[in-house]
Amino acid sequence: MSTHKIVLSLFAGVMLVSACSTDYFNQTEGNMPSKDDILAIHQGMDKAEVREIMGSPSIISSLDHRTWIYMNSTMKRMAFFKPEELERNIVAVEFNLDGKVEKVVQLTKENGKEISISSDETPVMGTEEGFMQKYFGGVGYMPIQPTDNKL
């Protein structure tokens, strides 16, 4: 091998290795009120007072709109590797039927729960292929409809 090719190969190798960064950065996402704001919330306060002190929640429960959730997390990210969660804080403010604060719950990464996402599918009723569609759907007088009804 010529000296020119060796130098070029070494230069390309150094450039390739230097492109692989070992630098990482921490990224914080979410809306977490200060500790003083959280301590200011007490039983009997209405939703307007809570919103004035803590701001808008990150999530409002979709079923009954009685639980407001404030949360943030800090993630360590490096290049293309899977991010690592360093810290998670959650404050849930639960309201009673009158819209007054019932309780305030604080969770962290240590006392929270990991929730796994289910891959189960829910069948949609009324979308099964009938006899005519199944056997004569492609003849020309019945429109062909997609049969993949998974949600």
- Looking at residue 81, its pLDDT comes to 82
Residues 18-69 pLDDT 10s:
555 566 778 888 888 999 999 999 999 999 999 999 999 999 988 888 999 9
- Looking at residue 148, its pLDDT comes to 61
Instruction: State whether residue 16 is helix, strand or coil.
Output: helix
Residue at 118: amino acid letter: S
- Looking at residue 94, its pLDDT comes to 95
- Looking at residue 54, its pLDDT comes to 93
For 83: left if phi > 0, alpha if psi spans -120 to 50, otherwise beta; the answer is beta
- Looking at residue 29, its pLDDT comes to 82
Separation of CA 98 from chain center: 30
- Looking at residue 46, its pLDDT comes to 94
Residues with Cβ within 8 Å of residue 116, at least 6 apart in sequence: none
CA-to-CA separations, 54 to 27, 57, 72, 141, in angstroms, rounded: 22, 8, 14, 61
| Residue 30 host element (H or E) | strand 25-30
DSSP class of residue 100?
A: B
- Looking at residue 151, its pLDDT comes to 53
CA dihedral 37, 40, 42, 46 (to 10 degrees): -70
- The count of other CB atoms within 10 Å of the CB of residue 133 is 15
- Looking at residue 129, its pLDDT comes to 73
Residues 67-124 pLDDT 10s:
999 999 888 888 778 888 888 899 999 999 999 999 999 988 888 777 677 788 777 7
Q: Which of the two residues, 4 and 50, has the higher pLDDT score?
A: 50
- Looking at residue 119, its pLDDT comes to 80
Q: What domains are there in the chain, each with its CATH number?
A: 21-113 (3.30.1450)
- Looking at residue 17, its pLDDT comes to 61
